[in-house]
Amino acid sequence: MKWHSDNRWSTMASPLGEIRISASRIGLTAIWFPDQRHLPDPAALRHWRIDDAHPMLSEAKRQLSAYFSGERITFDLPLDLSTGTVFQQSVWNSLLTIPTGCSQSYRQVAMHIERPKAVRAVGGAVGHNPISIVVPCHRVLGTDGSLTGYSGGLDRKTALLRLEGLLP
């Protein structure tokens, strides 16, 4: 992934643990848990400045807090998906079309982006989604409906799906 060197970032507490959020001048570039797989590159992070007052980061925190408290089910935030390849961006944009309370399989996402034979590549792109929760990779399940990988951990994926009413 290619990260912007001028990103700003901040942290917030959530029911799922600490969340870190970063933004470029264009939009959010990442939302991640410090212990997840596929973190932003440490070399890039060294150049990012902590900015707790950054308007885009403050708004992301506000909307995430409302989401976790059940007051909000969608997000209205500018996104900067340019860290990914064209293929990854197509997958991440497809994830944005999965409504709250619904899920899709990796195969369905592959069909949606008109790459039906790219199911494994779709899985890789979903796993490398840099903007967790807002770009809802947690809504992608196995073909049989099973909970499969989530870079933030299956416990968090389960909690997010419960919060959205997809799981009891």
Pure H helices in the chain: 42-45, 55-68, 86-95, 106-112, 119-127, 154-163
Is residue 35 within 8 A of residue 20, CB to CB? The reply is no
Q: Which residues pair with 154 in a beta bridge?
A: none
Annotated catalytic sites, by residue? 137
pLDDT in tens, 55-71: 999 999 999 999 999 99
| Domain spanning 8-68, CATH class | alpha beta
Residue ranges per structural domain of the chain: 8-68, 86-163
Give the closest residue to 103 by CA, choosing from 125, 126, 75: 126
Q: What is the pLDDT along the chain (168 residues), one digit of tens a residue?
A: 888 888 999 999 999 999 999 999 999 999 999 999 887 878 878 889 999 999 999 999 999 999 999 999 999 999 999 999 999 999 999 999 999 999 999 999 999 999 999 999 999 999 999 999 999 999 999 988 889 888 899 999 999 999 999 998
Q: Looking at the domain that runs over 86-163, which CATH code has it been given?
A: 1.10.10.10
Is residue 38 within 8 A of residue 128, CB to CB? The reply is yes
Is the pTM here over 0.85, yes or no? Answer: yes
Is residue 83 within 8 A of residue 3, CB to CB? The reply is yes
pLDDT in tens, 10-35: 999 999 999 999 999 999 999 999 99
